[in-house]
Amino acid sequence: MGKVVNCECGETVRAADDDEVVSLVEAHVERSHPELVGKLSRADILGMAEEE
């Protein structure tokens, strides 16, 4: 089962598993939401993710 995060900016981040979605969302945050870097924990990111 994959994971998907629909970011509030409109970007959709898709990944195969928890570890991948966390790293991809962290990379997206660094690129697009630098003000949030360091504020989203792994649990926060997984809380945003939906099963797909």
Tell me how far, at minimum, the Cβ of 18 lies from Zn ion, in Å. 19
Binding-site ranges for Zn ion (CB under 5 A): 7, 9, 11, 32
Backbone conformation region of residue 18, classed left if phi is above 0, alpha if psi is from -120 to 50, else beta: alpha
Hey, CA dihedral for 51, 8, 14, 17, is it positive or negative? negative
Tell me how far, at minimum, the Cβ of 30 lies from Zn ion, in Å. 11
Tell me how far, at minimum, the Cβ of 19 lies from Zn ion, in Å. 20
